[in-house]
Amino acid sequence: MANYGLNDESVVVVIGSGAGGGTLANELCQKGVNVVLLEAGKRYGIEDFVNDEWNSFVQLSWLDMRTTSGAWRVSKDFPNLPAWICKTVGGSTVHWAGASLRFQEHEFRVRSEYGDIKGASLLDWPLTLQDLEPYYAKAEDKMGVTRTNGIPGLPGNNNFKVMYAGAKKLGYKNVHTGRMAINSRARDGRPGCQQIGFCFQGCKVGAKWSTGYVEIPKAEATGRLDLRPEAQALQIEHGPDGKVTGVLYADADGNRQLQRARIVCVAGNSIETPRLLLNSASSTYPDGLANSSGQVGKNYMRHTTGSVYATFEKPVNMHRGTTMAGIISDEAGHDPARGFAGGYELETLSLGLPFMAAFLDPGGWGADFCAALDDYNHMAGMWIVGEDMPQESNRVELHPTERDKYGLPVPNVHFDDHPNDVALRNHAYRQGAAVYDAVGAKKTYAVPPYPSTHNLGTCRMSANARDGVCNGWGQTHDIANLFISDGSQFTTGAAENPTLTIVTLAIRQADFIADQMAKNAI
């Protein structure tokens, strides 16, 4: 493992070690680039993960102070937990479910495809599916995605059996155990899935791909990675020419350190990434870094989500086996006849009893609520992942008065559903319930969205510098040596889980950065 000096101006500093940052760091190291990787959280090995929902939540989650506003129900039920994401080496790839779906061709050009939707700040991406296809292929190989590269699908669990039978009765055609970055057989030095059932709590056997124990050790093996856990980035500094020069961070002891850099790549997830740019405001950049468009923090997306659970006469035991065990893709396309733009995936999901009590109906209580929990082992469940409309008013902004322990403004996350989001969600609730009714559900439950796990779009890509924060390579329009390297780049959200696309963009960005460095362009 490398150990670069704070004054070493030749290094690339990557902030955040999740799907974007962890992948980018490894890809750069493989190309011979020296990388300092700053991660706010601690480093855990798989032996540290716990099969216990609340204890794991406390171990892995980003629990630093955040506030919320807007009409979304999360703001009422979880006012200080807008997002359920991780603060640890590996970021949210530690607790992700593993679903690895490519975006559809039209989802890169939704402004053209959907037209002008009132209140939505839709924009076409500055790249196409064809641009990404070779990189999607590399990402799928890297992550060992099932049903690609000759890797068999995972075996379906009980929860999937219920979904499959109901979906087929409804006439759905595209139903299977998904494309998952979970080994269905031993691969890449990691074992096959043991159907443990705690995917969200960190995979105890490492069958699920995560940057924490896959990409980062590979980067360390090159001798070029200097990983610094418990290093909270505070500000990005710049020189008189406007280029960024380094990152001020607080180390594990709370001491401030300034790491010099040739290039800075920000991958702090879509709340911390814009917050860091905004907190880096200076006399040269009074509105924050890379913000001449005013778009930093804007167009926050979280996917239109929700869950459908159903109880049955006979047992299901949905908690056994992979959390996301199967998928229905028939509703993922764009079919305006349904009364909304965009589409959605339906994916099995299960929660343990402690989280089911917390999330089935947040704030719920009484005899009916308890009757649902009494049927816990007779319950099947699925999650809705749908495209949400970007809206400029949905945003991550600096709180006017609340400060963190370093004296910096905490982020406020503001979100309101767009009418299209509501229409899509209601359609998905109906279809999800119909799947379960088709196989004899006693009762179905439409469950509101959990705190956001898919945080997207707050530093979006745009062809034109006035419409967004970065170009098709994630390079900020304003500052050539400052990059956005996580889901913040997404111009729009698509209907698919975002991790595969984040990894794909990181691999592609690494090519670009290495090339630009070789040419001395940055």
Partner 1 sequence: MKKRDVDRRTFLRGSAAAAAGAGLVALGPWADALAATISTKALSSRQAATLLVMTRRIYPHDRLEDRYYVGVVEAIDGKAAADPAKAKMLSDGIARLDRALGKPFKDAAAAQQVAMLKGMASDPLFQEVRGTSVVALYNQPDLWRKFGYEGPSFDKGGYLHRGFNDLAWLPDPPETASPKPE
* Binding-site ranges for partner 1 (CB under 8 A): 50-54, 152-158, 160-162, 164-165, 175-177, 184-185, 192-198, 204-205, 314-317, 319-321, 326, 352-354, 356-358, 363, 365-367, 369-370, 373-374, 376-378, 439
Minimum Å gap between C-beta 358 and partner 1 is 6
- Listed in order, strand segments (DSSP E) in 193-315 are 225-228, 232-238, 244-250, 256-260, 263-266, 304-311
Shortest approach of partner 1 to residue 374 CB, angstroms? 6
| Least gap, CB of 327 to partner 1 (angstroms) | 10
Among 341, 345, 432, 434, residue whose Cα is nearest residue 388: 341
Compute the least distance from the CB of residue 67 to partner 1, in Å.
Answer: 18
Find the distance separating the first CA and the last CA of the chain, reported in whole Å: 25
Residue with smaller CB distance to partner 1, 442 or 466: 442
Nearer to partner 1, 46 or 465 (CB): 46
Shortest Å, Cβ 10 to partner 1: 43
Question: Burial level of 466, CB count in 10 A (0-12/13-18/19+)?
Answer: exposed
Residue among 31 and 168 whose Cβ is closer to partner 1: 168
For partner 1, the closer CB: 355 or 406: 355
Q: Exposure of 292 by Cβ count < 10 A (0-12 exposed, 13-18 middle, 19+ buried)?
A: middle
Give least dist CB 291 to partner 1, A: 38
* Closer residue to partner 1 in complex, CB, 134/191: 191
Structure tokens at 231: 């290093």
3-state SS track over 98-137: CECCCCCHHHHCHHHHHCCCCCCCCCCCCCCHHHHHHHHH
Please answer whether residues 457 and 493 qualify as being in contact, where contact means their C-beta atoms are separated by less than 8 angstroms. Answer: yes
Which of residues 323 and 489 has its CB atom nearest to partner 1 in the complex?
A: 323
Distance CA(336)–CA(348), nearest Å, equals: 25
Closest to 324 measured CA to CA, from 490, 193, 456, 514: 193
Residue 24 Cβ, how far from partner 1 at the closest point, in Å?
31
**Half-sphere exposure of 460 toward its Cβ, with a 13 Å CA cutoff?**
34
CB of 231 to partner 1, least distance (A): 30
Q: Structure tokens of 403?
A: 């400060």
Q: Are 257 and 4 contacting, i.e. CB atoms less than 8 angstroms apart?
A: no
Closer of 210 and 504 to partner 1 (Cβ): 210
Strands 379-386 and 395-403: unpaired
CB of 407 to partner 1, least distance (A): 25
In the complex, minimum distance from the CB of residue 152 to partner 1, in angstroms, rounded to a whole number: 5
Question: Could you give the residue ranges of the DSSP H alpha helices within 200-333?
Answer: 216-221, 269-279
Give the DSSP H/E element, type plus range, for residue 399.
strand 395-403
Cβ-based nearer residue to partner 1, 280 or 350: 350
Specify the residue, 241 or 365, whose C-beta has the smaller distance to partner 1.
365
Cβ closest to partner 1, residue 15 vs residue 151: 151
Nearer to partner 1, 112 or 194 (CB): 194
In order, the DSSP letters of 217-239 are HHHHHTT-EEEETT-EEEEEEE-
Shortest gap between Cβ of 431 and partner 1 (angstroms)?
Answer: 18
The residue to which tokens 């690895």 are assigned: 100
Q: Do residues 9 and 3 lie in contact, with contact meaning Cβ atoms separated by under 8 Å?
A: no
Least distance from partner 1 to the Cβ atom of residue 478, Å = 44
Pairing status of strand 232-238 against strand 244-250: antiparallel
Q: Which of 219, 233, 218, 249 is nearest to 33 (CA)?
A: 219
| Shorter beta-carbon distance to partner 1: residue 22 or 156 | 156
